Amino acid sequence: MKILFVCLGNICRSPMAEMIFKELVRKQELEKHFTIASAGISNEEEGKDIYPPAKKILLEKGIPIEKISARKITQSDISYYDYIIVMESYQKDRILKSYEVLSSTKIRSLNAKDVADPWYTGNFYLTYEEIYNGCSNLLEKLKKEL
């Protein structure tokens, strides 16, 4: 099952979700079932690694970190991934407007409520909790489809 996490810049929330989801999958020894990555809807942060405060909270929580190179979502991502998990509902709207999406049900929000943007709130702890809970629930749901 191929999962792409998406936020605005691909330097805070979606890489946090990617690293947390990968860790949850590893802990349950489900790695062979999943391909997990992240992207942004903007190219403003292109090529950058995870934003340092986001890295810091992942390290504090014991989540292994991989180096990333921030990138914007592409049309081929839309076809390749089975689920595109957005952090805020406007990102789903933007994807549906800007790309050809054959099955709009594959684009889902991580949580019922938008994940707070830590770039503006400065509260990486709150964002971590929201993403961690969302990723745990998502994994439980997706396990039923394996």
C-alpha distances in Å from residue 136, one per residue of 20, 37, 129, 131: 9, 16, 11, 9
Judged by the rule CB under 6 A, the positions of this chain that interact with ligand 4NP are: 7-13, 44-45, 117, 119
Q: Is-catalytic flag, 7?
A: yes
Which residue blocks in 1-146 are alpha helix, DSSP H? 13-27, 52-60, 75-80, 89-98, 118-121, 124-143
Q: Which of 49, 82, 114, 117 is catalytic?
A: 117
Residue closer to ligand 4NP by CB (options 1, 42) is 42
Q: Is-catalytic flag, 117?
A: yes
Cβ distance 6 to 91 under 8 Å? Answer: yes
Residue closer to ligand 4NP by CB (options 79, 121) is 121
Q: Which of 7, 12, 77, 135 is catalytic?
A: 7
Residue closer to ligand 4NP by CB (options 25, 115) is 115
Catalytic center residues: 7, 13, 117
